[in-house]
């Protein structure tokens, strides 16, 4: 249609393509996030995969701009410039410069750093230095503190003044290694840990884990992991928590090997991604829960988690009773479940076969009538895909 003279042609409305939806791999899984920093980002990534997320930060952070100890260390560095500066994280370095800028010291700090030998732990630290107009002299491509320690100790550090920028607790062994080799070490921690803002929430999260309400506990720092376990001890459930995390009742997940250390010291072997990134941690969790038992049924792949069931990529609208009946049927992998066995997983103490029939009927309404088959005079079973052997 042609626009009338003197009138503007309305531009065509282009609708944005809908964002691709993620498979609800973690539907029904309850994940406890124990970190304060970036917890919203981590929770959002898990929730997009169907997880229910609870928050109980085991420590609080002292913001770098308000950290008197960081200011004191920065002034000490400016008063006595270092020979070598180790930058361990990009976000930590940027936070350090921001804190210095808040006190009018950023230009002096950058000038002092430019005169030192700059060592970066990985590409993110290198990128942060470059963004500040600085050029690193050496980069540990493995992104490990061990590579930095090896390189500097091989060169010799006796008599040198070395500043190490840490992010968080600073428990990576660099300070101790350089001091033992004769260096004068100045440690700069960009944010510091404080007590939890809600100690009762942390204690409650430990009790919930001990009671079997949590499927996975996620840790992003070593001090946070240690503090959460200690909170469980104070709440009187430490042994129960460790037992569940050790024996598969709940999964512990740590962002990297340093974070995993307090867990391993207590006999807990956590899930650790190949790279110490939140995205890698989420992918590791998705891979773990996605790798749990999948039953190939006539209606598609079926996974039954503790709090939900997913059939062919769709979260099923099940009541708690329906979920328990489906879990029973799935555990039998196509074998027959009797009415008496159905009654055992239903609430109450009914022994009326009609109660089992009603429960199965409601389950069929939610999952589709062709998935749950009646075996005459015997009970019920799931209809498996062709070629899948029954138990």
**Residue 11: per-residue pLDDT:** 38
Place of tokens 């807990």: 268
Q: Which domains does the chain have, with CATH numbers?
A: 30-59+196-290 (3.40.50.10090), 62-193 (3.40.50.10090), 295-382 (1.10.10.10)
pLDDT score for 4: 40
User: How far, in Å, CA of 290 to CA of 21, rounded?
Assistant: 16
Nearest residue to 32 (alpha-carbon basis) of 272, 245, 316: 245
DSSP letter for each residue of 74-118:
HHHHHHS--SEEEE--HHHHHHHHHHHHHTT-HHHHHHHHHTSEE
Count of CB atoms within 10 A of residue 224's CB?
A: 26
Query: For position 236, what pLDDT does the model report?
Result: 98
Question: Measured between alpha carbons, how far is residue 111 from residues 65, 99, 358 in Å?
Answer: 20, 16, 77
41 to 36, 209, 241: CA distances (angstroms): 11, 22, 26
Confidence at residue 284, expressed as pLDDT on a 0 to 100 scale: 92
Query: First vs last Cα of the chain: how many Å apart?
Result: 66
Whole-structure pTM value: 0.64
CA angle in degrees (0–180, nearest 5) for 295-297-299: 130
Whether 281 contacts 218, CB under 8 Å: yes
Q: 388 by DSSP, 3-state: which?
A: coil
Point out the residues of the chain with pLDDT beneath 50: 1-21
Q: Which residues contact 63 (CB under 8 A, 6 or more apart)?
A: 191
pLDDT (tens digit, 9 = 90+) per residue, 167-207? 765 557 899 999 999 999 999 988 778 899 999 999 999 99
pLDDT at 67: 83
- pLDDT of 258: 76
Phi/psi for 312 (5° steps) reads: 55, 45
CB 143 within 8 A of CB 122: yes
């Amino acid at each position: 249609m042609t626009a009338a003279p003197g009138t503007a042609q309305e531009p065509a409305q282009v609708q944005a393509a809908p964002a691709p939806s993620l498979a609800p791999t973690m539907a029904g899984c309850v994940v406890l996030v124990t970190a304060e920093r970036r917890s919203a980002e981590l929770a959002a990534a898990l929730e997009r995969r169907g997880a229910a997320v609870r928050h109980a930060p085991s420590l609080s952070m002292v913001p770098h701009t308000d950290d008197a100890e960081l200011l004191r260390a920065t002034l000490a560095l400016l008063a006595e410039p270092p020979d070598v500066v180790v930058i361990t994280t990009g976000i930590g370095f940027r936070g350090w410069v921001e804190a210095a800028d808040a006190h009018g010291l950023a230009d002096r700090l950058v000038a002092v750093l430019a005169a030192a030998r700059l060592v970066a732990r990985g590409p993110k630290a290198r990128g942060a230095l470059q963004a500040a107009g600085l050029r690193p002299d050496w980069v540990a491509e493995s992104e490990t503190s061990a590579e930095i320690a090896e390189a500097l100790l091989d060169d010799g550090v006796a008599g040198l003044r070395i500043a190490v920028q840490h992010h968080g607790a600073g428990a990576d062994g660099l300070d101790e290694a350089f001091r033992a080799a004769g260096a004068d070490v100045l440690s700069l921690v960009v944010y510091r840990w404080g007590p939890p803002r809600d100690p009762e929430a942390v204690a409650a999260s430990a009790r919930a884990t001990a009671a079997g309400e949590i499927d996975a506990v996620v840790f992003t720092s070593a001090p946070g992991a240690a503090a959460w376990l200690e909170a469980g001890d104070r709440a009187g459930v430490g042994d129960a928590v460790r037992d569940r995390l050790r024996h598969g009742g709940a999964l512990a997940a740590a962002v990297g090997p340093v974070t995993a250390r307090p867990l391993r010291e207590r006999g807990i072997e956590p899930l650790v991604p190949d790279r110490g990134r939140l995205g890698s941690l989420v992918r590791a969790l998705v891979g773990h829960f996605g790798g749990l038992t999948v039953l190939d049924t006539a209606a598609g792949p079926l996974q039954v988690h503790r709090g939900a069931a997913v059939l062919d990529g769709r979260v099923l609208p099940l009541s708690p009773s329906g979920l328990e009946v489906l879990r029973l049927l799935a555990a039998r992998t196509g074998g027959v479940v009797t009415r008496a066995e159905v009654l055992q997983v239903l609430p109450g103490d009914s022994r009326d076969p009609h109660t089992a029939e009603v429960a199965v009927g409601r389950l069929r309404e939610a999952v589709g009538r062709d998935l749950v088959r009646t075996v005459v005079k015997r009970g019920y079973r799931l209809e498996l895909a062709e070629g899948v052997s029954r138990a």
